[in-house]
Amino acid sequence: MEKIGFIGLGIMGNPMSKNLINAGYSLTVYDINKESVSDVVKAGATAAKTCKEVAEQSEVVITMVPDSPEVEEVVYGEQGVLEGVKSGMLFIDMSTIAPATSQKVYQSLQEKGVEALDAPVSGGQVGAEAGTLSIMVGGSDAAFKRALPILEVMGKNIVHIGDAGAGQVTKACNQVVVGMTIQAVAEALTLAKKSGVNVEKVREALLGGFAQSRILDLHGQRVIDRNFEPGFKVKLHRKDMNIALQTGRDLSVPLHGSAIVAAQMDALLAQGDGELDHSALVLLLEQMANVAEK
């Protein structure tokens, strides 16, 4: 089994790395949050002091960080991955970032003789913990085949989309659908609440018909339970919606619904709710409908 380096041990990266350890892989890990590192070390990983050190001790490097600037810092920064890689290695970025950044990183690593994949995920914390993430992959066929046994530990629906950047384009499409569906569920349940009907029974009825969705099931229950502890934070989904909107602008594709959802998320951030789960979109709608819980 190949030696793996894992950089980024947050809400998603922590359980993903532990699943790899449980599958028998040897892991070297790094994160700026030392508590997260200690937690994964207790599960059997080895800690590194820098991203460069992670690369030096690994055959495959996986990154799972918040956004494009963090990926660039991990790769190009002082003591970064690019300083520690050697020809024949594989780099897998599982962050959600701009397609253009993925293509830039791909080219830089190619010059070092290193294959690179962009492999963003969907499924949230629940999917990360269960190892059932959907993984959308961009890069060469050979790199995908090499990575597949590793990806299969972390996900169940793993699709090779196309060349470098294709995985990130797919993730942008995914976040458009998820964001607009959360908006739809939030609007529907707020309408039910304002009408004075039983919101829980409305959700139950909708789940039995054509409106059924995983988001209505899971996030609808979050709304009922008033549980907005983050599985996926508003601020991160807003970042993803901005990636989708920028990609749309670059390609002259109007994304009107996405723009509305992004604006709603901006309002939540302005109210200081960026750390809440993205299902908290309902809180803004309830405020506007004057049915917010006191």
Model confidence at 223, pLDDT cuts 50, 70, 90, reads very high
- Burial of residue 123 (CB within 10 Å: 0-12, 13-18, 19+) is buried
Selected catalytic residue, list 171, 193, 233, 239: 171
What's the pLDDT tens digit per position in 184-217?
999 999 999 999 999 999 999 999 999 999 999 9
Q: How far is CA 37 from CA 46, 57, 253, in A?
A: 9, 16, 41
E strands within 68-114? 90-93
**% of the chain exceeding 70 in pLDDT:** 100
| Separation between Cα atoms, residue 233 and residue 220, nearest integer Å | 16
- pLDDT(59) > 80: yes
Q: Lowest-pLDDT range, 123-127, 174-178, 201-205, 264-268?
A: 123-127
Provide the CATH number for the domain around residue 197.
Answer: 1.10.1040.10
User: DSSP secondary-structure letter at 235?
Assistant: H
| Separation between Cα atoms, residue 65 and residue 8, nearest integer Å | 5
201 in active site:
no
Do residue 102 and residue 242 come from a single domain? no
- The pLDDT, as a whole number, for residue 293 is 85
- The pLDDT, as a whole number, for residue 124 is 87
Provide the CATH number for the domain around residue 20.
Answer: 3.40.50.720
- The pLDDT, as a whole number, for residue 294 is 62
Do residue 95 and residue 122 come from a single domain? yes
Q: How far is CA 172 from CA 107, 121, 122, in A?
A: 21, 11, 11
* 294 located within any domain: no
- The pLDDT, as a whole number, for residue 77 is 97
- H or E segment to which residue 160 belongs: strand 155-162
Model confidence at 270, pLDDT cuts 50, 70, 90, reads very high
Helices H, strands E: what count in the chain?
14, 9
Per the structure, how many domains does the chain have? 2
- pLDDT(68) > 70: yes
Residue 72 neighbours by CB under 8 Å, 6+ apart:
101, 104, 105
Q: Which residue has the tokens 């901006």?
A: 266
- The pLDDT, as a whole number, for residue 26 is 97
**Domain region containing 134:** 4-163
pTM of the model: 0.90
What's the pLDDT tens digit per position in 12-47?
999 999 999 999 999 999 999 999 999 999 999 999
Do residue 221 and residue 113 come from a single domain? no
